[in-house]
Amino acid sequence: MIKIIDYKAGNAPSVMHALNHLGFKAEFAKNKSDLANSTHIILPGVGSAKATMESLAELDLIKPLTEKVLGEGVMFFGICVGMQVLFDFSAEENTACLSWLKGQVVKFDREKVRVPQMGWNKVSFANKSGYFYFVNSYYVMPEDKEIIWGTADYNGRFMAAIHRENIWATQFHAEKSGTAGLKLLNRFLTPEGSECLQNA
């Protein structure tokens, strides 16, 4: 079963609407036992890194999520702040994050660009590109460049999407990026789609 983590500051309903539109059945997950039969886990994100981490801690989800994704290798998709919290540390209110991946989350330079970045930006993948919807004041600087799947430009290039084994994540809102975003979610949820990405 596909599980969408439903925590206080997330936009789980939007993600649910998108999956239903694609023809998938999914359930909201609010605690450890909700994750038991998960095949795919989606961590939506809006709001701050700190609020997200606090919310995950409050629901007692940090350990079970880590076990599922890093231990059992359940397919995982993080969106926006749901991507940022996978790293070690966020400069947003100095927040310690999940540390599944090595790297820091830093803020865009307000002297150079309007913050938050809000709107459709062009994301370049290995051999194609597309437009996706972003809302972010912070971006990830990963240590391991191998995980970078897509990048975009906002006062210099930043990481827009990650793919490493079972972990997928996007800085943009795939659930709110029209047909391009729906296609990407569909690829994550179908074995054929995942495979075609591995070989891309």
Partner 1 sequence: MLTKRLIACFDIIDGRVTKAVRFQDNIDVAPAEELAHILYEAEIDELIFYDITASSEKRPIDIETVKKVAQLVFIPFTVGGGIKNLSDMYETLKAGAEKISIDSMAVRDPSIITAGAKAFGSQCIVLSTQVKREKNLPSGYEVYIDGARKATGLDAMEWIKRAEELGAGEICLNSIDNDGTLLGYDLNLMKMAQGKVSIPLIASGGAGKPEHLSDLFTETETQAAIISSMLYSPRLERNFAVKELKEYLLTSNIPVRPPSC
What residues line the site for partner 1 (CB under 8 A)? 9, 11, 13-14, 17-18, 20-21, 46-48, 51, 110, 114-122, 131, 133-137, 153-154, 173, 175-182
The single residue of 92, 97, 163, 173 carrying the catalytic annotation is 173
Q: Where are the beta strands (DSSP E) in 32-184?
A: 40-43, 75-79, 89-90, 95-96, 103-107, 117-124, 129-136, 138-142, 148-153, 157-164, 167-170
In the complex with partner 1, the residue whose CB is nearer, 28 or 89, is 28
User: Is 80 one of the annotated active-site residues of the chain?
Assistant: yes
Q: Is 17 a catalytic residue?
A: no
Residue with Cβ nearer partner 1 (59 or 69): 59
Tokens of 57: 């801690």
> Are 7 and 13 in contact, with CB atoms under 8 Å apart?
no
Task: Name the minimum Å distance from CB 95 to partner 1.
Answer: 13
Count of residues for the chain? 200
Give the active site residue among 40, 97, 163, 175.
175
Which CB, 179 or 198, lies closer to partner 1? 179
Q: Count the neighbouring beta carbons within 10 Å of the beta carbon of residue 150.
A: 22
Check 40, 72, 80, 111 and give the catalytic one.
Answer: 80
Instruction: Note if 143 is an active site residue.
Output: no
The two most distant CA atoms of the chain are separated, in Å, by 47
Residues annotated as catalytic (active site), given as ranges: 80, 173, 175
